[in-house]
């Protein structure tokens, strides 16, 4: 990736992170006086135990990954949601900065369909939640690293750069595979897992061949795609 591409990803990432932090703030204000869990297993206090803290954290992480898995599949199945998600997949040189190459609408969508349901259903101890957030941040970075790093036959246990690159691949056999962000077992269970072969390191980008080459194009991408879809709908139904 050239220097302009890295700068572009950083600008896009700044918009995404700004939207994320604003959404977190609104979410905190909304839930602070009404945070009532329906299920209580994961709401148990960790009692100051580091082991229990991490155990509850990983349990909550697995639950969150389940919700994210289905949202991610829906983003690929629905052309309306794909318009918002396509920016992330337009990266032709996947690298660590790709982890923040999301449109700023991505995180509010994640909050509505993932974070809010989870926080209401499975209220985690605050320390465990901090563990989850830290793991998620590191995983998001590591999954997009430009490294030929995998776990071979054990790649179904935890996400790796090689397995996640399959998800970004433009090859037909890799379409709609490896959705899980942390636990590929969800892909295994629901039939979307692709076991990376040794040395498998496909090209990435949009299978349509469309390229996103400017920051302006990136920030307006979902809106231009939605406008085109609406125009096509209106032309079919005059």
Give the per-residue pLDDT at 9.
66
Average pLDDT over residues 147-154: 82
Q: What is the pLDDT of residues 160-210, one digit of tens each?
A: 989 999 999 999 999 999 999 999 999 999 999 999 988 899 999 999 889
Question: CA 106 to CA 12: how far, in whole Å?
Answer: 12
The domain in which residue 49 lies consists of 3-236
Total domains in the fold of the chain:
1
Task: List all residues 6 or more positions away from 204 whose beta carbon is below 8 Å from its beta carbon.
Answer: 89, 91, 92, 93, 94, 165, 168, 169, 170
Give the per-residue pLDDT at 206.
93
Counting residues of the chain whose pLDDT is more than 90, the rounded percentage is: 32
Average pLDDT over residues 210-236: 90
> What's the angle, vertex CA 82, arms to CA 76 and CA 87, rounded to 5?
115
Give the per-residue pLDDT at 38.
41
Q: Taking every pair of C-alpha atoms in the chain, what is the biggest distance, in angstroms?
A: 65
Residue 121 has pLDDT above 80, yes or no: no
Q: Confidence class of residue 62 from pLDDT cuts 50, 70 and 90? A: confident
Give the per-residue pLDDT at 130.
66
Give the per-residue pLDDT at 128.
64
Q: Which residue has the higher pLDDT, 29 or 156?
A: 156
Give the per-residue pLDDT at 90.
92
Average pLDDT over residues 100-127: 80
Q: Confidence class of residue 233 from pLDDT cuts 50, 70 and 90? A: confident
Question: CA 187 to CA 22: how far, in whole Å?
Answer: 31
Q: What is the pLDDT of residues 30-52, one digit of tens each?
A: 554 554 444 444 445 555 566 77
pTM of the model: 0.81
């Amino acid at each position: 990736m050239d220097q302009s591409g890295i700068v572009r990803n950083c600008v896009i990432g700044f918009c995404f992170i700004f939207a994320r932090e604003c959404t977190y703030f609104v979410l905190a204000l909304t839930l602070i006086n009404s945070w009532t869990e329906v299920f209580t297993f994961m709401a148990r206090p960790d009692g100051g135990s580091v082991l229990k803290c991490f155990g509850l954290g990983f349990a909550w992480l697995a639950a969150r990954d389940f919700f994210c898995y289905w949202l991610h599949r829906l983003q690929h199945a629905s052309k309306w949601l794909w318009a918002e998600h396509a920016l992330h997949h337009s990266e032709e040189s996947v690298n660590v900065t790709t982890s923040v190459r999301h449109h700023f609408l991505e995180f509010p969508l994640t909050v509505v369909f993932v974070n809010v349901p989870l926080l209401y259903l499975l209220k985690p101890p605050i320390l465990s939640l901090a563990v989850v957030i830290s793991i998620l941040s590191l995983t998001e970075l590591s999954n997009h690293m430009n490294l030929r790093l995998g776990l071979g036959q054990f790649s179904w246990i935890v996400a790796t750069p090689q397995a996640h690159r399959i998800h970004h691949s433009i090859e037909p056999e890799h379409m709609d595979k490896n959705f899980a962000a942390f636990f590929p077992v969800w892909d295994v269970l629901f039939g979307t897992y692709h076991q990376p072969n040794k040395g498998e390191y496909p090209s990435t980008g949009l299978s349509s061949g469309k390229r996103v080459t400017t920051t302006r194009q990136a920030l307006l991408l979902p809106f231009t795609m939605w406008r085109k879809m609406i125009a096509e709908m209106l032309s079919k139904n005059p």
